Structure 1
Amino acid sequence: MNKLEILKEKAKGIVLHASDNPKNRYKLRYEFYQKYGEPFIKGKEGLGNSELAFMDWEIKRGVLNSINAQHPGSLWWRSVNSHFLYLGTLAQLIYESGETFLDLPVPVNFWLKYINTPNERSWYRAHNSSIIAGYQVADALAFKENIYEQYFINIVLYRVLYAQSMVEGVSFGVLGKIFGNPRGAAVSILTDIEAFYPSHYPLSKEDIKYVTHHAHNLNGLIEDIFDKLFIIPHLDELYTEAAKWNSSPVVLEYIKNNKPLYPISDSEFSSAHFNTKLTTKKIHTL
């Protein structure tokens, strides 16, 4: 076994050891940012603030729980998070080994660039290429989620790509300036708003109204403005740019005519996967 294979196995072991304890998953990334977060204030997580806030929301929602827990987690969310952790952990092990390797996964190269040159752009490319890779790995598992969770998974993706657009110098709206800074508190604030990031898993009936943009209240209106006015009209362009920023062409398969397509393995690359089911299935039958 060569040196790279040894490091890969070590990274897999570290993630596996943490996998059934959501707090241990969080700890892996917290400790990473204690070393490589480039904080303005000593002891803070700096560029890791947004990621850690999102993972905290995942933990509270229960999607990272063990499958054997009293309230089981989600196979899809756990898989995406595990792959994300693996890529970041592998990059850290490679960096700390002092070795140089060729033919590394794209996200690992981006994490190495981030560690060497930490800034908003290098962070987003490392983070979002890892998220896209996680989506690709977990595609088939997404079909184990109900149709509304599948659609919400798309919302999560396009929001983080939209946030990246600002630091990449491609602004699709004024909100990107606020939402795009990974050091800031925007993600922490948004994940505390049920309309944007529901706390229930599986989604409650009320959550589904927000996910499908059918909530007729103030929070629903704010969410509608955020998604339908600032982001959704630009999805094709956003995903095209994101494929370039993150060297992740697979993300182009997740969008067509400004409509999300993920998961794709059984959807025949057609937005009809959502168009009919989201509008005709009655919420009260769930």
Structure 2
Amino acid sequence: MLNRGGRDISPLAAARVAALAPDAAGRHRLTAAFYAAAVPRRTRFGDAELTFLHWASERGVLSPVTGSPWWRAVNDRLLRDRVEAGLLAGGERGSPSSYPVELWVRFLREPSPRTWFRAHNAGVVAGYLSHSGLAAREPPAERFLLNLVLMRLLFAHALCVDRRVALGGLAGLGRLADVSRRGSVRLYLGLRTAYPRTYPPPGLAPDAVLGSGLVRVVDYGVIGSRLPALYGLAAEELGEPAVSGLLAGDLPAYRWPDEYTAPWLAGRSRAMARLAALATRPVRPVRPRPSPPR
């Protein structure tokens, strides 16, 4: 059990992040060092995050001069949470300043795909909720991307926790996509059309940030056809009911106008997307899962 009566060491964690990660390269080094020190025999836990961080660095969103305040703020949250958890797990006297920090401590003590997803995604969701105001200042195409990144991340979480929610009748294929251990995120990000390479995204149309071909089929046909189930599962796993509030009906709604549904609906009507949704539809009702211990 964690000591909940100790001092708050979050200022110490914040000071370390400020000193060690003043730029994108420092953020990458600090993240890599955390995984190398925390789980030396299981370093692939961090592969997915380091791959994504490399993309963000190359894109320029983490630049303190020309980058995105939203992207930096959310990444700052992840860095501070991990540093604080590392201090606590290493014997520093104190208590976790937030639930995501507590989840990172659990991951350090019991590394597994599920504990990694819970810790990482709890911090990401906390960043989304805390920095909604910064997201509102992003251009429409970037806000579309923020929703896209979140729904892909929650889909990956579902692949780990309950493949029936993620893939329905094709749940058996989920074993091929353990993104926290086998580098599937690296493969996905390696597709040039999966994510924009510049900031802000080129073009004015929000869906210009979507990939093409198979990427669009997965986004619209597989992920997009089950968003309430994915976000509901995440709300249970992360102990954060507000996750479900990031949807409007069955459409993403993080800092997105409810009436502007066209970019989300356009691709769902295409033949391949409809076929993917049909192939992965639930084959039987998903039984309730016991909520993870809080």
Pick from 221, 244, 247 the counterpart of residue 229 of structure 1: 221
Aligned partner (choices 261, 270, 275) of residue 275 of structure 1 = 261
Name 1:79's counterpart in structure 2. Answer: 73
1:254 and 1:261 in contact (8 A); partners too: yes
User: How far off its partner does 1:150 sit?
Assistant: 0.3
Residues 107-146 of structure 1 aligned to structure 2 (within 5 Å): 107-146=100-139
- Structure 1's 147 and 209: CA in aligned 2 closer, same or farther, altered over 3 A? closer
1:206, distance to aligned residue in structure 2 (A)? 9.3
**CA-CA distance at 1:117 after TM superposition:** 0.2
* 1:224-275 CA distance string (max 9 Å, x none): 2111111111001110110010112221110122101102xxx6xx522x32
Alpha carbons of structure 1 residues 38 and 20: separation in structure 2 relative to 1, 3 Å = closer
CA deviation map 1:101-137 (0-9, x unaligned): 3x64111111011000001000000000010011111
Q: How many angstroms apart in 1 are the aligned matches of 2:233 and 2:241?
A: 10
| Alignment equivalent of 1:29, drawn from 25, 28, 31 | 31
**Contact 2:144–2:207 (CA under 8 A) maintained in structure 1:** no
Q: Which whole-Å CA distance do the structure 2 matches of 1:98 and 1:39 have between them?
A: 23
Residue 4 of structure 1 aligns to a residue whose secondary structure is coil
Partner of 2:231: 239
- C-alpha distance in structure 2 between counterparts of 1:38 and 1:246, whole Å: 26
Distance in 1 (alpha carbons) for counterparts of 2:181 and 2:263? 38
Paired residue type of 1:271: D
* Superposition deviation, residue 96 in structure 1: 1.1
Q: Are 2:189 and 1:203 equivalent residues in the alignment?
A: no
Which residue does 2:61 correspond to in 1?
A: 63
Moved more, 122-131 or 248-257: 248-257
Residue 4 of structure 1 corresponds to 7
Change (3 A) 1:207 1:113: farther
Q: Flag structure 1 segments of 5+ consecutive residues without an equivalent.
A: 214-218, 280-286
Is the Cα–Cα contact under 8 Å of residues 74 and 131 in structure 2 kept in the other structure?
A: yes
Aligned to 1:90: 84
CA distance in 2, matches of 1:256, 1:178: 31
Aligned residue pairs total: 257
Query: Is 1:53 the counterpart of 2:51 in the alignment?
Result: yes
Once residues 223 and 263 of structure 2 are traced to their aligned partners in structure 1, the CA distance between those partners, rounded to angstroms, is 22
Deviation of residue 210 (structure 1)?
Answer: 4.0
Q: Please state whether the residue corresponding to 2:152 is helix, strand or coil.
A: helix
TM-score by length of 1: 0.82
* Fraction of identical pairs, as percent: 27
Unaligned runs of 5+ in 2: 266-294
1:191 pairs with one of 186, 189, 195: 189
Alpha-carbon distance change, 13 to 222 in structure 1, aligned in 2, over 3 angstroms: same
**How far, CA to CA, are the matches of 2:180 and 2:120 in structure 1?**
10
Deviations 1:25-71 (A, max 9, x none): 1111101100223535xxxx22111011111111011100113xxxx
* Partner SS state of residue 182, structure 2: coil
The answer to whether the 8 A contact 2:58-2:197 is kept is yes
| Residue pair 1:195, 1:207 contacting (<8 A) in 2 also | no
* Cα pair distance change 1:204/1:248, threshold 3 Å: same
Runs (4 or more) in structure 1 with deviation over 6 Å come to: 276-279
Residues 204-232 of structure 1 show CA distances to partners (whole Å, capped at 9, x for unaligned) of 12995543x5xxxxx61212211111111
User: Is the 2:141–2:208 contact (alpha carbons within 8 Å) kept by the matching residues of 1?
Assistant: no
Q: Secondary structure at the match of 1:220?
A: coil
